[in-house]
A and B are shown apart, each in its own frame.
Chain A
Amino acid sequence: MVRLQRMYWMCGDKKMKKIYLDNAATTQVDKRVVKTMVPYFTEKYGNASSQHLIGQEAKRAMEEARSIIARSINASYDEIFFTSGGTEANNFVLKGLFFENKKTDKNHIITTKIEHDCVLNSCKWLETQGVRVTYLDVDEKGFVDPNEVKKAITPKTFVVSIIHGNNEIGTIQDIEAIGKICKEKNVYFHTDACQSFTKTKLNVKKQNLDFVTLNAHKIHGPKGVGALYIKKNTKITPLLHGGGHEKNLRSGTENIPGIIGFAKSVKIASMFDVMRMNKLRDKLIIGILRIPGTKLNGATGNQRLCNNINICFGNIEGEAIGGYLDTYGISSSTGSACSSNTLEISHVLKAIKCTDLEANTSIRLSISKFTTEKEINYTLAVMAKVVEKLRKISPIKI
């Protein structure tokens, strides 16, 4: 989300509490992850393509990392292809399949109105290349209707690409139902799981997935590394040509320290953390909703990402709320027009039928496994103060 920005410029005071509630943007790297990465910079720095000992040492570690990531989504190690992150993986699926299908009559993509910009903007570019794209609507909680997917599929459709857990409003799609439809209709199914990975179940076999986008920095791993799951025997054209890395599908010397860190972050992810985050998330949501005139954007319970809170305040602007929160050391983000480069409101909030005013007065808070109950209590206390202050000067009364 381009428009989501931490307003660090107000944190001049070093002693001030720093409460990071923008984990949907990126996360703190776990110290254990850093520790496993360090030797791959300084001692085991080999190129995995080299035949000598140091090179092969790196290769072995990389292949082990590949297996760890594969196992976590019930895939096989040779179905995981490392990339530079989620954006590259999403571009790879959509454009790689487009090039692969150029000689056929397939020229149709089905996606949704609530995808990440890297999917939407790839689709927009593909439209300039003659691809027809269907952008499915979602309901007021952000759910895609699997029946709408079914209805949209034509003999020309080459891929259905639907985000798993939404980055702005946290809604988790029923990808199993959609996967089943795609299998019946014999159409490739891709999901962008950058936000949901390790937070909710991903099982490529059960959910009939042909492609899955994963990344490290949303799960306490390093930035600049991600992966694409590609189901065995699936044909796709590479975007990067070169030395033939990643079985000729993604050339470029592998980011070994990043890959090692990525696997470690997957290994230490735990469902207990998810359960704890669910509780803290709900405490924060319930606490904020006690403020009159507020409303939750997105789904609830298990159908919402365990780290995502998105609230509409009705009559005070998102960037202003974020700005005041920042003066208390709390990092948040907003989908308001004011904070975007284009002065447009969030396309996700628009898709769930928020009015412009509702979108402009919404903020997102996203917690992590490092968030404490004390921080939630502090945030709730600050939030009440900030809202009171801003509502006093707002011309719109609630």
Chain B
Amino acid sequence: MIEGYGNLVIEHFKNPKNMGEIKNPDAVGELGNPTCGDIMKVFLKVEKNKLGEDIIKDIKFQTMGCVAAIATSSMTTELVKGKTLKEAKKITNMDVARSLGKLPPIKMHCSNMAADALHQAIDNYEAKNK
């Protein structure tokens, strides 16, 4: 059922942040959910900060999914933009859900996978830049 979304979820759904594509990304992560058919694609631009650490300079999501899928994608970008890859790797789907406030329980395991998509992009980046 649809009821059970908090205001912040609705806000991120209505005005999702950082959605779209990055031209010439440094890494891409893609994740599909076989249960409900959601698909997410995340693009990263990575730069080094003054300390020489890799940071997420820019991040964008493309999402085909429900209200929760779009909101979690949007929230994830807000949480990790400007963060180091090390910090971003620590962010879990639970952190994203918590930041959004209220997700219906049934959506916790299906549409809430934006952090996993992000981790995949980071893994791809690290594999490429070993």
The chain A residues found within 8 Å of chain B, CB to CB, are 5, 7, 9-10, 315-320, 323-324, 327, 336-339, 341, 343, 345, 356-357, 360-361, 392-396
Contacts and interface: CB of A to CB of B under 8 A. Distances in A.
Contacts of B65: 317, 320, 338
Contact of A393 (B5, B20, B35, B110): B20
Interface stretch (B36-44, B50-58, B86-94, B121-129): B36-44
Nearest to A361: B64
Given A9-B5, A319-B2, A320-B70, A393 B36 contact: no
B50 to A, nearest CB: 33
A319 B38 CA distance: 11
Interface string B62-92: 1111111110000000000000000000000
Given A323-B13, A393-B63, A338 B3 contact: no
B2 A339 contact: yes
Contacts of B106: 341, 343
B16 interface: yes
Nearest to B39: A395
Contacts of A7: 2
Contacts of B62: 393-395
A339 B111 CA distance: 11
Contact of B66 (A338, A357, A394, A395): A338
A395 B40 contact: yes
Nearest to A358: B37
A9 B66 contact: no
A315 B61 CA distance: 15
A345 B36 CA distance: 8
Given A10-B10, A341-B1, A343-B35, A392 B67 contact: no
B10 A315 contact: no
Interface centre among B13, B20, B68 (most CB of A within 10 A): B13
A316 B62 CA distance: 11
Contact of A343 (B13, B64, B110): B110
A395 B36 contact: no
Given A339-B2, A360-B37, 4 more contacts: A338-B111, A394-B62, A394-B64, A395-B41
12 contacts: A5-B1, A5-B2, A316-B64, A317-B37, A320-B70, A337-B35, A338-B111, A339-B2, A343-B36, A343-B110, A394-B63, A395-B40
Contacts of B64: 315-317, 361, 394-396
B20 A9 contact: no
